[in-house]
Structure formats: C-alpha cells, structure tokens
Amino acid sequence: MLNASEKRTLSETIKDVESRTDAEVVTVLARESDNYLYISTLWAAFLSLLLAPLMQFLPWWLEYQQAFTLQWILFILLAVLFRWRPLTMLLVPKRVKFWRAANLARRQFLENELHSTKDRLGLLIFVSVAEHYVEILADRGLAEHITNENWQEIVENFIREVKKGKTNEAFVHCVQKCGELLEEAAPATVIKDELPNHLVLL
C-alpha cells in the first residue's frame, strides 16, 4: 500500500514528533479489517432461495430435481462473484464495516502495548483502507488534555485525503497535526523511545 520511500518518510515524521513530546505514537495501516466471507455467502444463499417461488413458472418438462440443481449452481456462481472485493464491500452495511474496523483498532492498541507506556501517553493512528475508516485512539494520559473534537477534526481531514488516494500524504499530515497537539499536552521532558516508529502493516 505504501512503497519503501513513503514508509521511511512516515517513520522519520514519527521520530521527529516523538522528539518533541513524551507521548508514544504508533501508526497502523490495514488493507481491510475483515474478509466479510460470511456476508457475501449469506447474500448468495438469500438470492438463491428466491429462486424457489419462481419454480412454478419454469417449463413443465423441467423436473424438481433439476430445479434444485439450478439453485445450487446459482448459489455457487453468486458466492464466487460476491468474493470480488469491490462488490463485497458494496454488500457489507456501513455499520458492520465500521464495527469491524473499530474492533481491529482496539486490538492493535493492545497488541502494540500502547496501554503500557509511561504515564499512559500512548497514541494509535489506525487506518483501514477498504472501509475508508480512520480512528485515533489516545490513552488516559492524553485524553485528559486533548478533546475528542480535536482528534475528530484530524480524522476528517485524513479521510478526505485517503478517499483521494493520497494515503501517504494523509498519514504524514495526520502525524504532524497530532504532533502539534501532543507537544502542547505532553511536551518532551526525557529522551525515550519505548515503541517502534515504523508503520505497522496488516
């Protein structure tokens, strides 16, 4: 999703931001938050079942067993077709996509040990491309000083850039904007680097 040069630029931006704050910043970029196999399969099954009421209109020479076989063929064809990613994402309700992405973001917050930083100053910038989902999760030490409205403004700008295909620029701008808030809320008092600065790719 990002080339080596873009990853290096992002890592350097994170390092620069962390040199001016006691906070720890981790960035995570996921291609998707779920494969949504169960949803595409349910759609295929539902549409295949709709064939049953239409069987009475089938030619008289088409036996029931043959009609049943047609249902199975239709189900298999639709199940394969609905695995095409652009079509899959259209079938998944927006609420479900955001719910899955939000769950993954919280798992990444814990897996990257942002909850165990000194003074609880961990910050996660999470992006899931397929869902067009961006979330910034701040630990308790930062949440006491920076409001959700501040983070939301950064997130909205990020989403606009990601939708334009400017994922790398969006990440860099986001880290820089977060850095401004972090420097004010938790200015650097010690030299530290508890967590990796590189982009985590999923």
First-residue to last-residue Cα distance in the chain:
10
Percent residues over pLDDT 90 in the chain: 0
State the average pLDDT over residues 43-50.
76
Query: Cβ contacts of residue 153 below 8 Å, gap of 6+?
Result: none
Output the pLDDT for position 52.
65
Q: Using an 8 Å Cβ cutoff, are 2 and 189 in contact?
A: no
Answer CATH for 4-34+93-201 from 3.10.310.50, 3.40.109.10, 3.50.50.60, 3.30.70.1710: 3.10.310.50
pLDDT tens column, 47-91: 777 766 666 666 554 555 566 677 777 777 877 777 787 877 888
- Which one is predicted more confidently, 20 or 3? 20
Between CA 63 and CA 74 the distance in angstroms is 17
Beta-bridged to residue 25, according to DSSP, are 123
Domain layout of the chain by residue ranges:
4-34+93-201, 37-91
